[in-house]
Amino acid sequence: MPKLKRLAALIRHHILTSSTVAGSGHLTSSLSATDLMAVLFFAGFFKFDVKNPKNPNNDRLIFSKGHASPLFYSLWAVAGGFDKRELNTFRKFGSRLEGHPTMEFPFTEAPTGSLGQGLSVGLGMGLAARLDKLSYKTYVLLGDSEMAEGSIWEAIQLASFYKLDNLVGILDVNRLGQSRETMYGHRIQAFQKRIAAFGWEVIVIDGHSFAGIKSAYQKAGRVKGKPVMIIAKTFKGKGISLVENKEGWHGKVLKPEELSKALSELGKVNTKETGQLTKPLVRKPKQIASRAAGTLSYKKDDKVATRKAYGNALVRIHAKYPQMVVLDAEVSSSTYADGFKNAHPEKFFEMFIAEQNMAGTALGLSQRGKIPFVSTFAAFFSRAYDQIRMAQYAMATIVFTGSHAGVSIGEDGASQMGLEDISMFRSILGSAVLYPSDAVSCEKLVEEAPKHKGIVYIRTTRKETPILYKNDEKFPTGGSKTLRQSSRDAATIVAAGITLHEALDAHDKLNKEGIMVRVVDLYSVKPLDMKTLKKAAKETHTIITVEDHHIEGGLGEAVASALSPVDGKVYSLAVSKMPHSGRPEELLEYEGISASSIVKKVKEVVRNAKARA
């Protein structure tokens, strides 16, 4: 105990000095959890080879309350993870020690800072440990303020469903939020009753009693068949009288003249002292060799929905990607992910209707070496945008697939129509957005997706569509397919998904009237095939984009933006009216993205060109 108390004082010393040097940071939020983390690290519970952060059997620590980064970095400095002098670079441009943990820092498991997400990531890591038959535990430090987030409770109920006894939550109940007391303040029983009701083992402690904290971790290690939540009553700013349990100090640090007084309250501190982490057992996951994926066998006259092709592809490519896992939000019979569930039930995770937790869990799985394929209706990914946004900062490879996209889903109505999804995923840094138009292209793009380092979005269609391509056709990310062209093309129609078939129908109708148009399948909305688009703009002078998506941020805006420096006109046909229930063909006509609408626009372009001539 004496050494633990000395190390806790040393950690507080580093929290105080690094935040004052930085001139900003979350001092008080760090001090409240210092004792909890000091005992976890240095009393033998947290098993980690500090010289090998990539050891697959290291325990995992996630700061869901990522604003407590001064504590996070100080812990690892005292554990010998890096030179303590680097703490003085905290929050400076170019430093690995950013305001909230990022992957620049080698001991960060996942980027945090957007509250309410850490437990989902930990859940994913717990599932990965079970899948790999590894003994590591995942610890998640939570703040009481973020317990208001729904994603936390999504994770709590699912961790209980999967009986994840390798997941330990540590709830730092320090009473004070940013602007006021938290919802339950220090009413610990409110948290205890709620979390226990979900089936967790709950251990309530004084978060500043070293004996109590140590006992809690010992009990947590003996629990089988359920996750554990340690609920600790703490005080924000603990150990420093100026700030302890005082309102108005969230996100504020001590001034230099206040620092010396605060440090004196810690007593004598040996800044050269370090703590020792216990190394884990040496275990590695079983390596499964990659084999060739199966072959496709679609026939020319087949009509297959791309959502069904997605399901077919998951089963077909499993041999090629043995680390793949599939997550679905209880719509697998519609997304056709159920084919994989039946073939590989141990690698399929039912996430139920809780999309935020599904995305966060996928990140946790990805960070432990899995390749998650995540599916639901395209419209419902908007709920999980924050989790998807955070995954980009993890540089994670996750394949999201949204089915039932666009007004072409028909009678289900506006609430089910994904009309913002392309825009959403295009805005993610380094993402790829893929939009297949037939079963062959869909299967090939699903197979191609894991090769992309970053977030991938595949947009699938509810309605059956004709086969357009041969089974051996290649579909590299960033490509396109020119399906119709001539030397007399008056315009180029650029489309993808359901509207590509409308464009081909329009081409045939215009051809009968002697009007030639080029048709491009822009299956890769991001990145774009600039070579093909520039060539089309140069040769036909007019580009007409057609999409079953809102015009804002969709395929049309992507093309128009890319071609802005290039001569030629770009016109966009997209969903611009409030959609309603109806037959797919009625809705395509109503929104002006049907074959007849394309014919009308092409004729208008040709007529205007003749008038100018």
Structure tokens at 584: 């797919």
Ordered DSSP codes for 94-148: T-SS-SS--TTSTT-SS---STT-HHHHHHHHHHHHHHHT----EEEEEESGGGG
Distance CA 419, CA 136 (A): 42
Peptide bond into 527 cis (omega under 30): yes
Beta bridge partners of 493: 519, 544
Q: Is 539 one of the catalytic residues?
A: no
Q: Which phi and psi (to 5°) does residue 471 adopt?
A: -65, -20
CB-side neighbour CA atoms (13 Å) of 37: 31
Q: Which phi and psi (to 5°) does residue 448 adopt?
A: -80, -30
Structure tokens at 545: 């984009």
Q: Which residues contact 506 (CB under 8 A, 6 or more apart)?
A: 493, 517, 595, 596, 598, 599, 602
Contact 592, 576 (CB under 8 A): yes
Peptide bond into 466 cis (omega under 30): no
Beta bridge partners of 457: 400, 433
Using only C-alpha atoms, the chain has a radius of gyration, in whole angstroms, of: 28
Structure tokens at 299: 């026939």
Helix residue spans in 274-378 (DSSP H): 306-316, 332-335, 338-343, 355-367
Contact 109, 118 (CB under 8 A): no
- Active-site position among 201, 355, 443, 591: 355
Distance of CA 589 to the CA centre of its chain: 35
Q: Which residues contact 514 (CB under 8 A, 6 or more apart)?
A: none
Catalytic residues, by residue number, are 355
